[in-house]
Amino acid sequence: MKPNSEIEHSRIYPSPNPHVKLTEITYWSEGIRVKGMLAEPIVKGDYEGILYLRGGLQSIGMVRPARVAQIAQQGFIVFAPYYRGNRGGEGKDEFAGIDVYDSVHGVTLLKNYCLPNRIHLFAFSRGGIMALWTAILRQDITSVVTWGGVSSLRLNYKERIDMRRMMKRVIGGTPNRVPEIYDQRSAIRRAQKIEAPVLIIHGGKDVNVGIAHAYLLEETLKGLQKEVESWYYPELTHFFPGEKNHEVLKAALAWMRKQ
């Protein structure tokens, strides 16, 4: 078995941004090869790192080169795991099962390219629970941003009737039939292990991931006397429109730099 985070293969990926170099990397995670995308500013320098944790499942919500390049152009080295079972990676996407370690080992990989003591997690949607687990399992995270992020699989199952069949298949049943599996995957129950400051961003009209996820996370972290900040946008949905998206992204990256 190869060491976790060891790079098996890399190839240059066409970049939509002339200021950013993209590389698709195959690396080892818990005995299998998984893939992700590295984005680096063309201008060399000492950059902080961001592990970008995508939303969705399998091909839905896949890492977008334009998004990681957009973040990298602001002066960060970005690594975005595809999660196992995607884009030719081995294994199967498990929705916050052992695939969490694809993120955990992604941090170690990222440290080879950026300032190793300045690693941030930037999560969207399903990536929220991946980020929480990564911050729980590692104590070297500088900050966490979860944007429209999932905080509880039980809550996700309850809210998303359209996702229940997929969740039963991927997770192995319903919260009533296999509560122990949902509990094992519930990062919120181990939030006391999170040491990094957390920024929560959420739209009040989000029907993909209800704002209850944000409220639950904020309440839990505050109850544990953790450092947490929340930016709520009552009029917005899961996907912020172009100009507002860019504005909030820049503000979130500025928040990260201050931590």
CATH at residue 87: 3.40.50.1820
Assess if residue 207 is contained within a domain.
yes
- Contact by Cβ (8 Å): 123, 201: no
Asked if the model's pLDDT at residue 58 lies above 80, the reply is: no
- Contact by Cβ (8 Å): 252, 70: no
Q: Which of 5, 125, 151, 186 is an active site residue?
A: 125
Residues with Cβ within 8 Å of 85's Cβ and at least 6 positions away in sequence, in order, are 58, 91, 92, 93, 99
Assess if residue 229 is contained within a domain.
yes
Assess if residue 31 is contained within a domain.
yes
Query: How many Å apart are CA 238 and CA 231, to the nearest integer?
Result: 14
Domain of residue 135: give its range: 7-258
Asked if the model's pLDDT at residue 157 lies above 80, the reply is: yes
Assess if residue 2 is contained within a domain.
no
What was the pLDDT predicted at 195?
Answer: 97
125 is catalytic: yes
DSSP structure string for 104-141: HHHHHHHTTTS-TT-EEEEEETTHHHHHHHHHHH-S--
Query: How many Å apart are CA 29 and CA 2, to the nearest integer?
Result: 9
What was the pLDDT predicted at 60?
Answer: 77
Query: How many Å apart are CA 257 and CA 255, to the nearest integer?
Result: 5
Asked if the model's pLDDT at residue 172 lies above 90, the reply is: no
Instruction: Tally Cβ neighbours within 10 Å of residue 44.
Output: 7
Assess if residue 1 is contained within a domain.
no
Average pLDDT over residues 86-111: 95
What was the pLDDT predicted at 76?
Answer: 98
Assess if residue 188 is contained within a domain.
yes
| Confidence category of residue 91, pLDDT binned at 50, 70, 90 | very high
Count of domains in the chain?
Answer: 1
Assess if residue 41 is contained within a domain.
yes
| Confidence category of residue 189, pLDDT binned at 50, 70, 90 | very high
120 is catalytic: no
Asked if the model's pLDDT at residue 57 lies above 80, the reply is: no
How high is the mean pLDDT of the chain?
A: 95
* More confident: 113 or 185: 113
